């Protein structure tokens, strides 16, 4: 059997802004450095189910609920692109990982995307639209079987993706 040549030119790095996702970024940067690939950073704000929307609207009104959702969307977007100064924005963390991985030669991200919707659907959609060769994402287990399981979003992306997915777990201390 002749092995195919692995050529990675576009990496989709997904983040939920967790420590696990920041740790996974080091892998994305390392692979981008190795293959001279571009990195697209994606954060997906999950949509609130329609039933929950109706219940919340009953308490605070439709206009106020839309304002709250828009505020959180903007807040996450600002955190990703580094406009917020009141906390360590993920852009700063990503830049630091880039600098460490390339020994001072900045890699950075080529594109930062914040979308709203189903995380699994958006990850798969963005990977296809941007013709990515690899998806890199962090994960964390939940419950008693956490050593044997990966997160539900990561698990569903792995099952449905047409391209390779690198799932990175945060190492135990």
Is 97 domain-assigned?
yes
Q: How much is the pLDDT for 152?
A: 84
Q: Is 90 exposed, middle or buried (0-12, 13-18, 19+ CB in 10 A)?
A: buried
Q: Which domain holds residue 23?
A: 10-169
Q: Is the pLDDT of residue 125 over 90?
A: yes
CATH number, domain with residue 59: 3.40.50.620
Residue 27: the pLDDT is 92
Residue 96 falls inside a structural domain = yes
Q: Which residues are CB-neighbours of 42 under 8 A, at least 6 positions away? A: 12, 13, 14, 15, 113, 114, 115, 122, 123, 126
What's the average model confidence in pLDDT over 14-38?
Answer: 87
Containing H/E element for 53? Answer: helix 50-60
Position 2 in a domain: no
Is 122 or 57 the better-scoring residue by pLDDT? 122
**pLDDT computed for residue 96 by the predictor:** 52
Residue 133 maps to a domain: yes
Model pTM score = 0.69
Q: Would residue 4 count as lying in a domain?
A: no
34 contacts 14 by C-beta, under 8 angstroms: no
Buried-state track 10-40, b at ≥16 Cβ within 10 A, e below 16: bbbbbbbeeebbbebbbbbbbbbeebebbbb
Of residues 136 and 149, the one with the higher pLDDT is 136
At 126 the pLDDT is 97
Take residue 43 and report the two structure tokens written for it.
Answer: 């954060």
3 in a domain, yes or no? no
The total number of structural domains in the chain stands at 1
**What pairs with residue 134 in β-bridges?**
11
Instruction: Determine, yes or no, domain membership for 5.
Output: no
């Amino acid at each position: 059997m002749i092995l195919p040549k692995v050529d990675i030119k576009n990496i989709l790095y997904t983040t939920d802004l967790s420590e696990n996702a920041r740790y996974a970024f080091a892998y994305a940067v390392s692979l981008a450095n190795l293959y001279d690939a571009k990195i697209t950073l994606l954060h997906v704000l999950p949509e609130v189910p329609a039933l929950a929307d109706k219940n919340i609207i009953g308490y605070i009104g439709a206009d106020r609920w839309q304002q709250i959702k828009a505020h959180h969307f903007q807040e996450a977007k600002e955190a990703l692109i580094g406009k917020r100064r009141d906390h360590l924005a993920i852009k700063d963390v990503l830049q630091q990982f880039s600098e460490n991985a390339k020994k001072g030669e900045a890699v950075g991200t080529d594109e930062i995307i914040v979308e709203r919707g189903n995380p699994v659907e958006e990850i798969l959609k963005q990977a296809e639209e941007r013709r990515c060769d690899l998806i890199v994402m962090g994960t964390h287990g939940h419950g008693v079987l956490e050593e044997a399981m990966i997160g539900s979003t990561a698990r569903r992306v792995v099952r449905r993706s047409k391209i390779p997915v690198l799932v990175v777990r945060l190492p135990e201390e």
